[in-house]
């Protein structure tokens, strides 16, 4: 079977761009807007006179966008985009792709909470409000409802922070923890190293055995991460079959030892699922924070690039970003 881009007729590209949720913008090399799809239209409505992409980033993220734009190479990072009707910027994974005509393609995908669990959070929130109203009747009822309300709030917090499939921290929380750890390392001049781990050939597992088996493989890898990472290291599901590990107060030596253990443990673990015996391997990219020289997203980008280098080098191994 040929590649997808070779099989889709050019006449359908416009319809495809208008029916995806990702925002796609074509820009000049200086960020001047040329054209965009419907997903970006709500952002353009906010500032109809704005003609450069940088105008749609809050001040805290605009500088990083301009740095990535001026680099003239493919970049991927996380940033906020101003959203109409919202007090806070909408968190997105952004990609810049230089084109042969010196124009640049900008793609931004919103980081969404799983819809089913978002519904649970909202339902729990409504219950909290109900308990607060009822607590006004009597002190005795108020006390009982207070206890119940606290229990519900704990459940809501857990749902909002935990990936429902692997029970690791979800993307939003592991990125927030990364931001906090970078600030802490900068403030106290301590070490921080991170690892990006990706399951090798995971698409083949889904294609061969189905997504239910693929989900179980993800859970088994997550179990290994929990069992073979030390405190106070943190592991989270960054997206799909990709995981992020934070190693506070640790250098590259500690991270490479951990990566070596994880590669060995996961490759030697056979999962027995629905009558199938499945073994997978992982590729791991490692990067240590360059104190005073980079931000959390550039650190994450270096680790991500190192992970892809591990894949290019043969998979089932780790690679360090120097």
Residues with a catalytic annotation lie at: 241
Q: How far apart, in Å, are the Cα atoms of 279 and each of 78, 119, 192, 217?
A: 32, 35, 31, 9
Cα pseudo-dihedral 305, 310, 311, 315, rounded to 10: -160
d(CA 195, CA 191): 14
Tokens 């994974």 belong to: 93
Count of CB atoms situated within 10 Å of the CB of 202: 18
Q: Provide the token pair at 105.
A: 């393609």
Instruction: Measure CA 46 to chain center.
Output: 26
Least Cα distance to 117 among 168, 162, 149, 86 occurs for 162
Count of CB atoms situated within 10 Å of the CB of 95: 17
Q: Provide the token pair at 200.
A: 């090798």
> Taking the CA atoms of the chain, what radius of gyration do you get in angstroms?
22
Secondary structure (DSSP) of 2-57: --HHHHS-GGGHHHHHHTSSSEEEEE-TTSBEEEE-HHHHHHHHHSTT--BGGGGS
* Helices 171-188, 296-312: inter-axial angle, 10-degree rounding: 110
Tokens 């698409």 belong to: 203
Instruction: Measure CA 195 to chain center.
Output: 13
Count, residues in the chain: 322
């Amino acid at each position: 079977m040929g590649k997808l881009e070779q099989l889709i007729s050019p006449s359908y590209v416009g319809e495809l761009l208008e029916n995806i949720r990702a925002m796609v913008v074509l820009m000049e090399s200086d960020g001047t807007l040329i054209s965009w799809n419907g997903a970006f239209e709500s952002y353009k409505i906010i500032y109809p006179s704005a003609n450069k992409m940088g105008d749609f980033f809050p001040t805290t993220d605009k500088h990083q966008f301009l740095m990535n734009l001026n680099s003239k190479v493919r970049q991927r990072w996380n940033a906020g985009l101003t959203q109409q009707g919202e007090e806070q910027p909408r968190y997105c994974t952004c990609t810049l792709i230089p084109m042969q005509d010196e124009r640049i393609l900008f793609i931004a995908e919103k980081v969404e909470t799983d819809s089913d669990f978002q519904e649970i959070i909202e339902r729990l929130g409504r219950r909290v409000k109900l308990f607060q109203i009822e607590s006004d009747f009597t002190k005795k009822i108020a006390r009982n409802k207070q206890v119940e309300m606290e229990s519900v709030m704990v459940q809501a917090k857990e749902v909002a922070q935990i990936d429902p499939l692997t029970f690791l921290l979800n993307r939003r929380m592991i990125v927030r923890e990364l931001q906090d750890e970078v600030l802490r390392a900068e403030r106290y001049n301590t070490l921080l190293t991170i690892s990006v781990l990706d399951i090798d050939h995971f698409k083949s597992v889904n294609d061969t055995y189905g997504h239910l088996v693929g989900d179980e493989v993800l859970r088994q890898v997550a179990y290994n991460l929990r069992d073979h990472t030390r405190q106070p290291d943190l592991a989270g599901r960054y997206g799909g079959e990709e995981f992020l590990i934070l190693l506070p107060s640790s250098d590259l030596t500690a991270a490479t030892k951990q990566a070596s253990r994880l590669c060995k443990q996961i490759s030697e673990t056979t999962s027995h699922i629905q009558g199938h015996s499945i073994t997978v391997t992982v590729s791991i990219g490692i990067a240590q924070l360059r104190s005073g020289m980079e931000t959390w997203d550039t650190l994450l980008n270096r680790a991500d690039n190192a992970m892809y280098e591990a894949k290019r080098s043969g998979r089932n191994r780790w690679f360090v970003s120097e």
